[in-house]
Amino acid sequence: MAAAPHIIQVAVPTPLHRVFDYLSPVSLAPGVRVRVSFGRREVVGVVVDEVERSDFPRDRLKPVSQSLDTDPILPPLLLDLLRWAADYYHHPLGEVIQTALPVRLRQGRPGVISGVVAWALTHDGRTVDPEMLKRAPAQKRLLQALASAPEGLDANQMKQVSSRWAAALKVLRAKEWVSSHMRDSQPVFDGNIQKSPELNPGQKSAVAAITTGLGQFRPYLLHGVTGSGKTEVYLNVIEQLLAQGKQTLVLVPEISLTPQLVGRFERRFRIPIAVLHSALNDQERLNAWLAAREGKAPIVLGTRSAVFTPLKRPGLIVIDEEHDASYKQQDGFRYSARDVAVMRASREKIPIVLGSATPSLESLRNAREGAYTLLELPDRTGGAGMPEVRLLDMRRLKPSEGLSLPLREAIAARLAKGEQSILFLNRRGFAPVWMCFDCGWVAPCRRCDAQLTLHQKRQKLMCHHCGAEQETARQCPSCHGENLHPLGEGTERVEGALQKFFPTARIERIDRDSTARRGVLEEKLRRVHEGEADILVGTQMLSKGHDFPNVTLVGILNADQGLYGTDFRSAERLFQMIMQVSGRAGRADKPGEVLIQTWHPEHPLFNALQRHDFHGFAGFALAERRETGYPPYTHLALLRAESPAPGAALKFLHEARALAVSQAGKDVQITAPVPAPMERRAGRYRAQLLVQSDKRAPLHVFLGQWVAAIADASLAKKVRWSLDVDPADMY
Q: Which of 283, 284, 285, 291 is nearest to 247 (CA)?
A: 291
Domains of the chain: 6-106 (3.40.1440.60), 116-183 (no CATH), 201-382 (3.40.50.300), 384-431+488-615 (3.40.50.300), 635-725 (3.30.70.360)
Query: Is there a contact between 695 and 657 (Cβ–Cβ < 8 Å)?
Result: no
CA distance 347 to 341: 10
- pLDDT value of position 187: 47
Q: Which of 548, 601, 688, 701 is nearest to 87 (CA)?
A: 701
- pLDDT value of position 29: 96
Crossing angle of helices 614-628/361-368, nearest 10°? Answer: 90
Query: Is there a contact between 268 and 242 (Cβ–Cβ < 8 Å)?
Result: no
Strands 674-681 and 635-643: unpaired
- pLDDT value of position 605: 93
Question: Which helix (H) or strand (E) element contains residue 337?
Answer: helix 337-348
Q: What is the pLDDT of residues 17-61, one digit of tens each?
A: 999 999 999 999 999 999 999 989 999 999 999 999 999 999 899
CA distance 23 to 9: 9
The 8 Å CB, 24+ separation contacts for 476-484 are: 476/436, 476/438, 476/439, 476/441, 477/441, 478/436, 478/439, 478/441, 479/436, 479/438, 479/439, 479/441, 481/436, 481/438, 481/439, 483/436, 483/437, 483/438, 484/434, 484/435, 484/436, 484/437
Question: Which helix (H) or strand (E) element contains residue 174?
Answer: helix 165-174
CA distances from 379 to 369, 648, 688 (A): 24, 55, 44
Burial class (CB in 10 A: 0-12, 13-18, 19+), 264: middle
Q: Which of 378, 346, 362 is nearest to 206 (CA)?
A: 378
Low-confidence residues of the chain: pLDDT under 50: 1, 187-189
- pLDDT value of position 167: 85
3-state secondary structure of 88: helix
